[in-house]
Structure 1
């Protein structure tokens, strides 16, 4: 049999984690390799004797998931073989954490080493803004982490001299050391419109020293979504009324 398909055979690599292609992660398992935690249902193929088991959530994880809706729904991959992981043909990015932390939206996590730990953190908003990304996961420790992006991402470097801004619905992850603030930019002439009819919503600003990962895709929060600020908060007015906005010039 002859076909161009044979150009896509298994990548030959001794690396424990490697990209089979831009949309598929290849992980080696064996006696010398610790087990890997992967997104439930993300296994698309495997070779050898690989075992899959559910990841039992601790009481704190279950409570945080109920209160915030943010969680990692994982399975454990162990044994001796190779496992291939993917989700909705999204692009896969591998990160090496060395006693470092990354704040990431849980929906973008594909896999991580069992040596890493995580907890739910709230993204502070000075104005009671409702929308996507109110809570995220803070992943820390030493190990590998694979995140997914819709297309090729932009990595922005943040320095003390350069503050960066990104659409809250396009941000995938950022260095935990960064200071974040969620803002709703509106003007007094268009107080009931999001950015005066531009279609732009909430921004995240980043200060400090680190990096921000932004994907070329965004999802607007549902128009009916409200938080403790209620109806006005969902329209960029915050809990402080009109004064709760960051006013444009």
Structure 2
């Protein structure tokens, strides 16, 4: 049998994390080091693997209830290969530096089980942006796979060069950076995300490090559920993009 489809075969590599294409990640498991992946992100696997829900401590559950920020993971263990993807988003593998990485939980696809993460507060008096008032700080030594809607932009921050970005477009930044949330306009339209200026809250980064920005201000409908109405399947309603992204005001 012949077909152009056979050009999309597995990429051979001995590395633990390997991109099969810009939107599909392969992770090798050798039976010792587990990988934590976003729930439901497995699209295929080979070998003797097991998938279990990751335990959440009482403190983690309390923080989730208080902040609304949470990373729902499954533990992939065993010997074999697992393929991970989420809504055809672009996947990027990063090494976590000693100072750590701050990221919105919505953009995490997978991470080494040796890494530690906790919810931290961002300098904000309001939780109306896409990034919100709380994010995840990932520390330790290992790799993390992030997702973006489209090809991202990495901006270098130095003591001489500050960087500001739309809060709805920011994906992650170096944990060593100082962050402030501010509004570019003083009018009341800032409360309506698509107000008269089209711009709302932004994050300003200072210090030494990097900020990762995606070419989109809307998350895809992460929790759209089949059976909850036709609108949800197209990103509308409380199960679609609008319902899952209350920081993005359309009206």
Using structure 2 for the length normalisation, give the TM-score: 0.83
Q: Confirm or deny: 8 A CA contact 2:86 2:109 kept in the other structure.
A: yes
Aligned residue for 2:126? 129
Matched position secondary structure for 1:197: coil
Instruction: Write the distance in 2 (CA, Å) between the matches of 1:155 and 1:116.
Output: 23
Matched length: 218
Aligned residue for 1:155? 154
Matched, 1:6 2:3: no
Aligned residue for 2:22? 22
Q: Deviations over 1:51-87 (max 9, x none)?
A: 1111010111111100011011000001010000000
- Deviation, 1:47, is 0.5
Q: Confirm or deny: 8 A CA contact 2:96 2:138 kept in the other structure.
A: no
Matched, 1:67 2:63: no
- Deviation, 1:222, is 4.6
Q: Confirm or deny: 8 A CA contact 1:159 1:207 kept in the other structure.
A: yes
Instruction: Write the distance in 1 (CA, Å) between the matches of 2:80 and 2:249.
Output: 46
Q: Confirm or deny: 8 A CA contact 1:129 1:183 kept in the other structure.
A: no
Matched, 1:51 2:47: no
96 and 222 in structure 1: CA distance in 2 versus 1, 3 angstrom threshold: closer
The 5-angstrom pairing of residues 108-147 of structure 1 reads 108-125=107-124, 128-132=125-129, 133-147=132-146
Q: Deviations over 1:86-115 (max 9, x none)?
A: 000000000012433000000000000011
Matched position secondary structure for 1:177: coil
12 and 196 in structure 1: CA distance in 2 versus 1, 3 angstrom threshold: closer
- Deviation, 1:192, is 2.5
Runs of 4+ in 1 over 3 A off after TM superposition: none
Tell which deviates more after alignment, 196-205 or 133-142: 196-205
The 5-angstrom pairing of residues 147-186 of structure 1 reads 147-186=146-185
Aligned residue for 1:218? 217
Tell which deviates more after alignment, 158-167 or 193-202: 193-202
Q: Deviations over 1:25-58 (max 9, x none)?
A: 1000113x40000000000000011111110101
- Segments of 5+ residues of structure 2 without an aligned counterpart are 219-244
Instruction: Write the distance in 2 (CA, Å) between the matches of 1:130 and 1:46.
Output: 38
Aligned residue for 1:107? 106
Q: Confirm or deny: 8 A CA contact 1:92 1:148 kept in the other structure.
A: yes
- Segments of 5+ residues of structure 1 without an aligned counterpart are 225-249
- Deviation, 1:193, is 2.4
- Deviation, 1:129, is 3.2
Q: Confirm or deny: 8 A CA contact 1:152 1:216 kept in the other structure.
A: yes
196 and 148 in structure 1: CA distance in 2 versus 1, 3 angstrom threshold: closer
Q: Which has the higher strand share?
A: 1
